[in-house]
Amino acid sequence: MIEKIGAAAMLEQLAEEATELAHAALKLARIERGENPTPVLKEVAMDHLIEEYTDVVQCAEELRLVPNREQIKLKKMRFEERWKEEHENCKNG
């Protein structure tokens, strides 16, 4: 695809697909919470989320983007530390 449309157009497509992924995730979060009703069924929302995620991955692959595994590891560690601190503060506070 990228050979046909070029890198700039592929980046634009990635941005569009990422926006659609964000909307799909927000819709599913609404369903999960049940606080802001939507007529969309959970199964349909999940299918849409997977479809949009797949579109993002396809664009990323065309652009030869790869996840930074070390960054993921560090973010996970920071989250775990914050989670632990927060829950210790709740117990002591």
Residue 90 is assigned to a structural domain of this protein: no
The predicted-structure confidence for 23-32, as pLDDT tens digits, reads as follows 999 999 999 9
Number of domains in the chain: 1
What CA–CA distance (Å, rounded) separates 65 from 72? Answer: 15
Residue 88 is assigned to a structural domain of this protein: no
The predicted-structure confidence for 39-73, as pLDDT tens digits, reads as follows 999 999 999 999 999 999 999 999 999 999 999 99
Q: Percent of the chain at pLDDT above 70?
A: 99
**pTM beyond 0.75, yes or no:** yes
Q: Average per-residue pLDDT in the chain?
A: 94
What CA–CA distance (Å, rounded) separates 10 from 12? Answer: 5
Residue entry with tokens 């949009």: 52
* Amino acid of residue 57: V
Please tell me the predicted confidence (pLDDT) of residue 89: 79
Residue 92 is assigned to a structural domain of this protein: no
Please tell me the predicted confidence (pLDDT) of residue 27: 96
Which domain range does residue 52 map to? Answer: 2-67
Nearest Cα to Cα of residue 40 among 50, 51, 29: 29
What is the torsional sign of CA 7, 57, 29, 89?
A: negative
